[in-house]
Chain A
């Protein structure tokens, strides 16, 4: 890490923090700083260097527009990152060191991220804050963000699935997966947008056809241990149930994690039927820049 990119003044009497662009740190350093800010968080979600690098790549985090705040002893006070997709921007990985809270560092970082987004011609900003993170929620409301919706993070442990539905299943190739995603309804959160999924690679998919000839598809991201980022081509109860049964019959030994399913989604009850449980909730917020 070298050089500081800018300085600005704190609204209270605390020494003014300085900001260093995240691009001047290694992924290992960014992961360490982020983990230290979240050590006492409701859901800490620590990362190692590899996960941080993947996160930056998958979610279009712009490290030149992301910052680490330092105090006048060059100690890290906090971190905030900015994702950019066209004219849209996304605040993520925002965290303040436990012993540096109460000095408006979070507000400084958010204001700097807003400036950075505007400098990149963004006119919309969005973020998710974990439900129950009241200081974070208050901060975002104070700078003008508005709640859009509640999102669920849900999990399903590995295990056989007992389903009574009959259907035919056919694996989808890479081109078919891309075609399915292109046809999907809008409304995904930043993590599950097609841009994220296509950045990830390693996408799998199944085409499922019921005896009634009703058919649809399911796309997912697969690692050796976990399935995630499930996208269903239909919200019809019966078809959605068949899609989930098909994927868990095909991958019974994999743990599954699904982030940011809208709480109001009709699919939530279908996920519950096949063994998903709620992990925690997020609040999605937006700001017009």
Chain B
């Protein structure tokens, strides 16, 4: 079981993602804005962070940049969770130090496996 933090302001989207990950055996914490997200991951360094890039208080990219400046979070995989066009998102998240992208709307049949593969890849590094 892994601890996953979802930082996402859309309730519907975060509830669905949390339910799928919990069903797969993970513990999930949800934060609905950037400030709460930072507080949550600093208090509970997770095994993976799912990061919405569009947040109501701070830009998602700014939050990722701030996380990467924290020693405790430097090796935690951060996966951008976004509806941005995939090509734009990939370049952007690479520049900001994210480890991958999961596009929204999520594919409910593949989502847990996608997240699991990012956790396994990080563990093997």
Contacts and interface: CB of A to CB of B under 8 A. Distances in A.
25 contacts: A35-B56, A42-B83, A42-B84, A43-B54, A46-B9, A46-B55, A47-B56, A48-B33, A50-B57, A51-B56, A51-B57, A155-B61, A157-B61, A157-B65, A225-B58, A225-B62, A226-B62, A255-B65, A255-B66, A257-B61, A257-B62, A278-B88, A278-B91, A280-B85, A280-B88
Q: B-side binding surface: helix, strand, loop or mixed? A: loop
B72 interface: no
B122 interface: no
A42 B10 CA distance: 14
Interface residues of B, number: 25
Given A39-B10, A253-B69, A255-B65, A132 B85 contact: yes
Contacts of A275: 95
Contact of B65 (A44, A50, A51, A158): A158
Contacts of B16: none
Contacts of A39: 10
A6 B58 CA distance: 36
B96 interface: yes
Contact of A31 (B54, B56, B66, B96): B56
Contacts, number: 67
Contacts of A46: 9, 54-56
Contact of B59 (A40, A42, A255, A280): A255
A33 B76 CA distance: 34
A40 B64 CA distance: 22
A57 B85 CA distance: 31
Nearest to A226: B62
A7 interface: no
B92 interface: yes
B116 interface: no
Interface in B36-85: 54-59, 61-62, 64-66, 68-69, 83-85
A42 B53 CA distance: 12
A225 B68 CA distance: 13
B33 A40 contact: no
